[in-house]
Amino acid sequence: MKQCKYLLAVILALCLPAMSLFAAEGENAEYSEFVKGLLNNQYMLENIRLIGLAEGAYKEFKYDDAVKYAQEANKYAQMSDDYVKLQMKIKEANDAIAAARLRLDQVKSVNAHVKFADAYGKAEAAFADALAFRTKEEWDPAKESALSVLALLSEIPNVPVMAAQYLVKTWRGDKDCFWNIAARKEIYGDPWKWRIIYNANKHKLPNPKNPNVVEPGTILDIPSIKGEIRAGMLEDF
């Protein structure tokens, strides 16, 4: 009887890695469906088959065979564990890269990459590193690089960044004047705000008292009037 109990304990101990995976599945609801799909892998299926053979041999008092099957089951359980862990790493790396790509696109969509050029440049470099690590199947560094993108861009506000300067073109080609410049949607979207631009730039005019003459090539400063974030030349957007 003691021998039987000992053998049963050995069989159960050898099969524990496989059982622990099933138990771990329910610990994180976010991954439950994902893990459930991963568990149906070739290693786990072979593990289950061998466990059945071990149990059958044990019931038939073929203890040596039972231990042999259990040992084989344990090998496949470990292989299944390793497979699932690898797939989890791949998923986490890909999820982090997708989140980093989305954040980069968000920052650029509001033109914040112009005002926060240094942080954005570092984030782009980190994202390139993440992609390179993924190509080499180095999943942990890929994930870490992608997460660093999110960290670098974490303090950039999700509000549009507008032009802080405007390069004056010709009247003949672009009809540039304070009225028309202020009317541009990228500037104020309101021609009646022309005086704001004029007052901020009159010292750049040939005749500061005459707002009707603005020389092509003049770089005008566009003041913020509603707390909007402004940075860079309009041509940079």
**CATH for 179:** 3.10.350
DSSP string covering 43-73, please? HHHHHHHHHHHHHHHHHTT-HHHHHHHHHHH
The total number of structural domains that make up the chain = 3
Boundaries of domain holding 131: 92-152
Predicted confidence at residue 235, as pLDDT, reads 77
Rounded to whole angstroms, the Cα distance separating 189 from 15 reads 71
97, 134 in Cβ contact below 8 A? yes
Predicted confidence at residue 183, as pLDDT, reads 95
Predicted confidence at residue 191, as pLDDT, reads 96
Q: Name residue, tokens 């957007």.
A: 237
Q: Give the β-pairing of 161-162 and 229-230.
A: parallel
State which of 130, 152, 174 marks the end of a domain: 152
Same domain, 82 and 7: yes
Rounded to whole angstroms, the Cα distance separating 223 from 212 reads 19
| Half-sphere exposure in the Cβ direction for 194 (13 Å, CA) | 12
Burial tier of 113 (Cβ tally within 10 Å: 0-12, 13-18, 19+): buried
pLDDT tens digit at each of 237 positions of the chain:
545 554 554 555 455 544 444 444 445 555 567 777 787 889 999 999 999 998 898 889 888 898 899 889 999 999 998 998 999 999 999 999 999 999 999 999 888 888 899 999 999 999 999 999 999 999 999 999 999 999 999 989 887 888 899 999 998 888 999 999 999 988 999 999 999 999 999 999 999 999 999 999 999 999 999 878 888 888 776
State which of 70, 88, 106 marks the end of a domain: 88
